[in-house]
Amino acid sequence: MKKEIIVLSDIELGAGNLTDDFISDKTLVTFLKSLIGRNHPVDLILNGDIIDFLKCPYIQEDKYSYPRYVSEEISLAKLRSVYQAHPTVFHALRDFGKSENNNIYFIIGNHDHDIYFKGIQKEIKRLINKKKGVYFPLHYKHHSVWVEHGHQYDFLNKTNVKKPFDWYLGKKILNYPWVSFGVISRALIMKEEYPFMERIKPYPLMFKHHKIVIHKITRGALEYALKSFLYYPLRFFRDPTYRIPRNFITEFYTRFRNANWDIEDISDNFQRKKKNKMRQYRLYVFGHTHEKLIEEKDGWAIAIPDTWRDEYTLDPMTKELIPKTKKYIQVFVSNDDQIAWEMQEIKVKRKQLFFQDVVDDEIKYIKLVAKDEGFDSKVI
């Protein structure tokens, strides 16, 4: 065999606080260690939203905030907090990366746009103690396998790849998608109040049973949108983080009318945009949507291996919260460059959990599931 390719996505390693949705350090470390010592090279592709800079607070000695103007210094401080909350994951990556045959790809997603900072790339390399064979691209395109995070096919989360940075008051800052600035300035405060709800899928079913949350989101989003369209561009005339992308008002209005704050069908958007590419590769892997998807076509396929953060599926009948399995794509590349692939699943064992109990005391259950999963956070 020439090579093995492993793709996993949307781990969302945070600072161990209420906006950190990753608690499966043990499962992930065991999995990463199982990849060590293969007789062939392994390309480990961490397909975006791996380090959750977006939801990670900026923790200074006595202050705790979600800054809108993210300089490299702030990103580095966030990375330090993430490392402190999840050291074993970085250690496992270090052990996996020891072999020169093994490569690690940190594909850039919308939660880890901060990777564009060269200082962040350097620091990640230092933390996992690997100089060669660590990459920070937007795509992986080898052996007829195409991997990318997928936010570029999602209108609201799309980034300007030609302009990853902006300047504000003489400082180089991250040029996040417009929605991310909204997340930073508004949604994270709500996330701290309702930290569990965002982990429950499908959203329409969760909202149906939790009306306060949908009301607050819709009202908050409307207020933020109206201010962003009518007030902020004048009030903060020189501030690039308040500039609105074109076509945005129409898109936003449609979504508001349909109360649709979910992400788009990126597989569908991709197929429409990249029609001519579809026959050049045999397997397309995406992340971003936190869903399990396998679409097999004539000679090629699209796969999305869900998320590794703590998520649940709400059973519409029993109202039980079923923890999602952890999934990854495993590809074997033969010596004559043929590929064979599969989506693998790792089971998650948990105590039984019911929606209503969680709604009644979200913070209690955030702590409880972390404990059940063996995640020991010093911050929560």
CA-wise closest residue to 110 among 84, 135, 138, 132: 138
Lookup result for tokens 């300089």:
71
Q: How far is the CB of 135 from Mn ion (least distance, A)?
A: 19
Q: Quick one: how many helices (H) and strands (E) in the chain?
A: 13, 18
When the beta carbons of 155 and 355 are compared against Mn ion, the nearer one is 155
Q: How far is the CB of 52 from Mn ion (least distance, A)?
A: 10
When the beta carbons of 103 and 110 are compared against Mn ion, the nearer one is 110
Contacts of 241 (CB under 8 A, 6+ apart): 68, 69, 166, 168, 173, 176, 181
> Which one of the spans 144-152, 188-196, 216-224, 294-302 is the region binding Mn ion (CB under 5 A)?
144-152
> CA-CA distance, 131 to 103, in Å (whole number)?
10
* Amino acid in position 204: P
When the beta carbons of 50 and 358 are compared against Mn ion, the nearer one is 50
When the beta carbons of 285 and 353 are compared against Mn ion, the nearer one is 285
Collapsing DSSP states into helix, strand and coil, what is residue 121?
A: helix
Contacts of 137 (CB under 8 A, 6+ apart): 105, 107, 108
Beta-carbon-side half-sphere exposure of residue 268 (alpha carbons within 13 Å): 5
Count of residues of this chain found to bind Mn ion when the rule CB under 5 A is applied: 5
| Window 53 to 112, contacts with Mn ion (CB under 5 A) | 109-110
When the beta carbons of 45 and 380 are compared against Mn ion, the nearer one is 45
* Residue 49 touches Mn ion, criterion: CB under 5 A: yes
> Which one of the spans 46-54, 306-314, 328-336, 340-348 is the region binding Mn ion (CB under 5 A)?
46-54
Which residue's CB atom is positioned nearest to Mn ion? 288
Considering only 113, 125, 130, 288, the residue that binds Mn ion (CB under 5 A) is: 288
Q: How far is the CB of 159 from Mn ion (least distance, A)?
A: 10
Residues that bind Mn ion (CB under 5 A): 49, 109-110, 151, 288
